[in-house]
Amino acid sequence: MMQVVVIDSGGANIGSVRYALERLGVDAVLSADPDRIRAADRVILPGVGAAAAAMARLRRLDLVEVIRGLRQPLLGICLGMQLLYESSEEGDVDCLGLLPGRVTRLEGGPGLRVPHMGWNALDIDADSALLAGIEPGAYAYFVHGYAAPVSADTLASCSHGRRFAAVCGRGNRFGAQFHPERSAATGARILENFIARGEARAAA
């Protein structure tokens, strides 16, 4: 039986992520135990809140090197995706460094509120098993004030004042800036694809 572990990163969305997985028939384990995380077939890193506080918690739990060393598919959700990058402007903190780039604050403007909160349409930027069945223009639910840049690792992007990475992937590392657990059919399909396939483009 496939073992799925949701890292106990302290995010407020952990319960809803596990419930979304339950709806797909996946009984995910919530854990901060390094051995259990390393032994999992799929690992999910959820997150809500500030990057500096989240990284401090991962360091306190001795999970930074554990996550960096994972060879199985890893999915970061919301703040969890941002933590995959080298650094974040939020708190000027070094992150996990699994993907190149720096997370920066979204800029507001006329009709543009920050945080970016609500439904927005996805642009598909690359073929990926993670996005199988997701059509261009599909809607997902976002809640964030910071975002990763569009780069060679961007699988899908979105616009709110500027374009930003909405889904990323390199090798076994993936991320969704939106909340799959709150994104109806789009989010369910992303989670299903991750669990079933757990692969996208080969590492660049």
The H-or-E segment that residue 100 falls in is strand 99-105
Give pLDDT, residue 12: 64
Residues of the chain with pLDDT under 70: 11-12, 197-204
Decide if 201 is inside a domain. no
Count of domains in the chain? 1
User: Does the active-site annotation cover 181?
Assistant: yes
Give the CATH number for residue 20.
Answer: 3.40.50.880
Decide if 15 is inside a domain. yes
136: helix, strand or coil: coil
Measured CA to CA, the distance from residue 78 to residue 175 in angstroms comes to 8
User: Does the active-site annotation cover 158?
Assistant: no
Decide if 153 is inside a domain. yes
Please give the residue range of the domain that contains residue 22: 4-196
Decide if 138 is inside a domain. yes
Decide if 140 is inside a domain. yes
Q: Of the listed 78, 95, 158, 168, which one is catalytic?
A: 78
Decide if 71 is inside a domain. yes
Give pLDDT, residue 200: 40
Predicted structure pTM score: 0.94
User: Does the active-site annotation cover 78?
Assistant: yes
Q: What angle do CA 15, 17, 19 make, to 5 degrees?
A: 70
Decide if 182 is inside a domain. yes
| C-alpha 53 chain-centroid distance | 17
Decide if 101 is inside a domain. yes
Q: Which two tokens stand for residue 183?
A: 């994104």
Q: How far is CA 3 from CA 57, 73, 183, 199, in A?
A: 24, 12, 24, 16
Q: Which residues pair with 121 in a beta bridge?
A: 139
Q: Of the listed 89, 179, 192, 199, which one is catalytic?
A: 179
Q: Which two tokens stand for residue 88?
A: 């974040």
